[in-house]
């Protein structure tokens, strides 16, 4: 059994704890030591049965005393990247996959990823490091998903799609086959992507078009 720390004691942190509990119901694999969070108001609080142990950098002290792995429970990929860069001396990032996820044996996946309940990930797809797939997302065959990508609940990414670093695909969006989503791009909830999306833009609607904030 591995000792694991959840970085982030917010709403998604609670869901990640639930995910790990789901893994343990099938095969006892992890002992959740608690949360780490930079919000000082959360230190010492018990959240769904697990204590917030302190700030994120406390992971250094804990890892010196015992063998521990960790996962970053933050939905924003840029935030996840910043945390990894702060913790450069720590490299025991755990990829966790809910038992109900239908994941191909030909999937290649990096470290620190979170695949929640009900996901379907097809054949010959490559996923980078520290990616998040929330509940019931669908990822087609032969996709390339770069580091720190976030795919939210109900999103459908069809085959041969490429998604760049730190892109965010919101709830119930659809990306049709063969398209490219640029780095740090955002696809709005319920949107349907019919064309390639450039870096650093937000697209919304059916079909998805560039959305400009006023």
Q: Which residues are catalytic?
A: 141
Q: Are 54 and 61 in contact (CB under 8 A)?
A: no
Helix (H) or strand (E) holding 44: none
In three-state secondary structure terms, 151 is strand
* DSSP, residue by residue, 81-132: HHHHHHTTT---BPPEE-TT-EE-TT-EE-SS-EE-TT-EE-TT-EE-SS-E
Map residue 13 onto helix, strand or coil.
helix
């Amino acid at each position: 059994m591995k000792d694991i720390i959840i970085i982030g004691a917010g709403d998604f942190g609670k869901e990640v704890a639930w995910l790990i509990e789901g893994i343990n119901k099938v095969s006892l694999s992890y002992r959740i030591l608690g949360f780490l969070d930079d919000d000082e108001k959360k230190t010492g609080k018990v959240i769904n049965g697990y204590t917030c142990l302190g700030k994120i950098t406390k992971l250094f002290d804990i890892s010196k005393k015992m063998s521990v792995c960790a996962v970053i429970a933050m939905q924003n990929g840029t935030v996840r990247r910043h945390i990894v860069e702060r913790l450069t001396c720590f490299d025991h990032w755990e990829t966790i996959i809910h038992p109900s996820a239908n994941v191909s044996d030909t999937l290649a996946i990096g470290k620190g990823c979170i695949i929640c309940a009900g996901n379907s990930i097809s054949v010959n797809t490559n996923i980078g490091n520290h990616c998040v797939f929330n509940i019931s997302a669908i990822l087609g065959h032969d996709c390339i998903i770069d580091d720190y990508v976030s795919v939210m609940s109900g999103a459908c990414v069809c085959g041969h799609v490429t998604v760049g670093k730190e892109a965010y695909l919101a709830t119930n969006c659809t990306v049709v086959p063969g398209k490219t989503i640029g780095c740090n791009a955002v696809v709005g909830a319920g949107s349907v992507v019919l064309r390639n999306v450039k870096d650093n833009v937000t697209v919304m609607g059916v079909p998805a078009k560039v959305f400009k904030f006023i």
